[in-house]
Amino acid sequence: MLRCDVAVVGAGHAGIEAALAAARLGADTLCITLRLDRIGHLPCNCSIGGPAKGHLAREVDALGGQMAIAADLATTHLRRVGTGKGPAVQTLRLHVCKELYPRIQQETLRKQPRLQLLEAEVVGVVGGERIAGLLLRTPSGTLDVEASAVILTAGTFLNGLCHVGEVRQEAGRHGEPPSNELSSQLRKLGLRLRRFKTGTTPRLHAASIDWEATEEMPSEPEAGPLSYLHEALPVARELYSCHRTATNSLTHSILRSNLKRSAMYGGRIQGVGPRYCPSIEDKIVRFSDKDSHPIFLERETWDGDSIYVQGFSTSMPEEVQRAALRTIPGLERCEVLRPGYAVEYDVVDPTQLDHSLMLRALPGLFLAGQINGTSGYEEAAAQGLLAGINAARFVAGSPPLRLPRETSFLGVMVDDLVTKGVEDPYRMLTSRAEHRLVLRHDNADERLTPVAKEVGLCSEQRWERFERKQRHIQRLKEQLEAVFVLPQHRPHLEGEGLAGVSQPTSLFALLQRPGVRLETLQRVSSRLGTPIELPTDARVLEQVELAGKYAGYIDLQRRSVESMRRLEELSIPEDLQYERLTALSIEARERLAAVRPKTVADATRAPGVRPSDIALLVGYLKAGKR
């Protein structure tokens, strides 16, 4: 018998953040994984970040998580993405070495006080009115674990089934057995499970690629690190380039003529696949009007030969994959190291969770990552961090941490999961956040580092850096707001290519003009005889410039946030009998009874609930208080 405060099942991206958070908050934590050597493994692509995902990774870092720190140390390629769009979309996307990144994470876990690692298979969950522990299978027999809280981060292992064409094999991912007994146990507990599907791409031998026939996309090290703890990217080696090519009509013809041999189109896959990351065979069917689709060739390790073919996820037979790949420019003589494959797996309907990621039916049991129907490393890490925090707080008898939608992309994701559920693997998108202009990549620390300090996950180093940055931001804003341009100063503005003003206007207000940069305003201030000093920290300059340039829009969103906060403060009794609220529509009563929202703001996001239903609910609650 083993005893711990918090038991974490799984050591992927969700499990790592959950285990570290729980241990750092003082809980005696046990992290159980099928293979210790696969802790932190990146089974699909080698990238971290990208649109919305980069925002999540930044938020994990601001909350005291580990993903961005490890990613910076293992970076092989870096670019800023979304640069053609507004600041709400712009973020970073990194490639990391798939050998170095896991080593860094494994070392971090082993050095963490109050955290123990164990290689075993979880075959049962023990609990009645609340969680009591786990039943494990080890090489030496069965083992009972007594735990006050349990976090399941099972990834794609629950009843995992891998497909390559007509060949299928029980596996959670390539070369690793599934976890079938745990899935059966969850069904016995009365949980609603669904079947999802995801996939990965072929890996090619680097030496077999004609790189000259592809488009080079150099790294942009000046884009800076992902973690707020790093001044610059802490990588000594020169970063790799990524290379781009594309499919063509011949590629599509080969795939189209073999569609029935695809595991998905051959009817051998029952799970629902990701809408926003379709396989190549799905692309040619759904977007039949397109003559080509982009392909990105990404190096998986610093010194290895494996190339990840981004954009070519597939479950076609290996020989069909090879034939189709060899029609793509640069890949005419490519050698396939490993074919792409699809994997089916069970997920738990996330509407059975509350906003702390704890199951309402079994207090003390938390779920995080793909088991909740999400996809992606960053989505998993963010959920794992929140689950780890709340599991430790549950053990300590503290109230759970809840992040409202207006505070973070993490808050948006969790709210979407528990109030709306999922019809296909959930992917974080910037468009899912209604307040995304105030949830930018650059200000995640401003939004969440104070939360990390309050919770207990903010180190002294992180807090000192945060306070210093905020002082520099405030000082620069004050300088810009203190210097005014008057109508008679037109020559000073025209000297910088700017139109004059009709009334006294601060330099900060001038930032709202298109094309005006802080360097421009610094020169204007010198012409006025009241020079301002710009700090050297690029992150400070970015945040101040964006705050000034979009001040009007940000103010509108902040007012919207305040309105939503008022609804958040209007709580709904847990035992409210919706069936008695006959003024509400039948659908609204059924939906609200199933979701059990804790606040009126939660109720507004429940599917099938109309604004008129919300108005009636608010009236009922206020009348009850009177």
The tens digit of pLDDT for each residue in 542-588 reads 999 988 888 777 777 777 767 767 776 788 888 888 888 888 888 88
Residues 534 and 600 in one domain: no
Residues 435 and 502 in one domain: no
Q: Show the tokens assigned to 202.
A: 């072929």
Phi and psi (nearest 5°) for 405? -55, -35
**In degrees to the nearest 10, what's the CA dihedral of 452, 456, 460, 461?**
-40
Residues 551 and 594 in one domain: no
The dihedral sign for the CA sequence 314, 317, 322, 323: negative
Residue where a domain stops, chosen among 509, 531, 560? 560
Q: Which residue has the higher pLDDT, 204 or 571?
A: 204
The CATH number for 547's domain is 1.10.10.1800
Residues 505 and 426 in one domain: no
Residues 439 and 358 in one domain: yes
> pLDDT (tens digit, 9 = 90+) per residue, 110-127?
999 999 999 999 999 998
The CATH number for 178's domain is 3.50.50.60
What 8-state DSSP symbol labels residue 271? S
CA angle 407, 410, 414 (to 5 degrees): 110
Which stretches of 88-224 are assigned E, i.e. beta strand?
Answer: 91-96, 115-119, 121-127, 131-138, 141-152, 161-164, 167-170, 193-199, 203-205, 215-217
Residue 128 has pLDDT above 60, yes or no: yes
Other residues' Cβ atoms within 10 Å of the Cβ of residue 202 = 24
The dihedral sign for the CA sequence 53, 57, 62, 65: positive
> Checking DSSP bridges between strand 193-199 and strand 203-205, what pairing results, if any?
unpaired
What 8-state DSSP symbol labels residue 513? S
> pLDDT (tens digit, 9 = 90+) per residue, 306-335?
999 999 999 999 999 999 999 999 999 999
**SS in 3 state form for 335-352?**
CEEECCCEEEEEEECHHH
Give percent of the chain with pLDDT exceeding 70. Answer: 99
Query: How many domains, the chain?
Result: 3
pLDDT score recorded for residue 158:
94
Residues 420 and 483 in one domain: no
pLDDT score recorded for residue 438:
87
Q: Is residue 387 part of a domain?
A: yes
Q: Closest Cα partner for 287 from 328, 252, 262, 244? A: 252
Distance set, CA 596 to CA 231, 461, 589, 590, 605 (Å): 45, 40, 10, 10, 12
Q: Is residue 260 part of a domain?
A: no
Residues 553 and 573 in one domain: no
Q: Is residue 305 part of a domain?
A: no
Q: Which residue has the tokens 């129907």?
A: 373
Residue 626 has pLDDT above 50, yes or no: no
Give the DSSP letter string of 408-475: -HHHHHHHHHHHH--SS-B---GGG-TTGGGS-STTHHHHHHHHHHHHT---HHHHHHHHHHHHHHHH
Residues 411 and 445 in one domain: yes
Distance of CA 438 to the CA centre of its chain: 17
Residues 27 and 115 in one domain: yes
Residue 475 burial class via C-beta count within 10 angstroms: exposed 0-12, middle 13-18, buried 19 and up: middle
Distance set, CA 239 to CA 64, 218, 224, 415, 422 (Å): 27, 8, 13, 37, 38
Q: Which residue has the tokens 């847990």?
A: 574
Lowest mean pLDDT among 347-351, 450-454, 559-563: 559-563
pLDDT score recorded for residue 504:
94
Count H helices and E strands in the chain, helices first.
20, 22
Q: Please list the alpha-helical segments (H only) found in 260-317.
A: 280-286
How many alpha carbons fall within 13 Å on the CB side of residue 305?
A: 11
The most distant pair of C-alpha atoms in the chain lies apart, rounded to whole Å, by 86
Which helix (H) or strand (E) element contains residue 497? none
Angle of helix 538-549 versus helix 460-482 axis, rounded to 10: 50
- Which residue segment(s) compose the domain that 573 sits in? 569-625
Lowest mean pLDDT among 189-203, 286-300, 400-414, 535-549: 535-549
Give percent of the chain with pLDDT exceeding 90. Answer: 72
Distance set, CA 474 to CA 325, 450, 486 (Å): 54, 16, 24
Q: Which residue has the tokens 């609340």?
A: 130
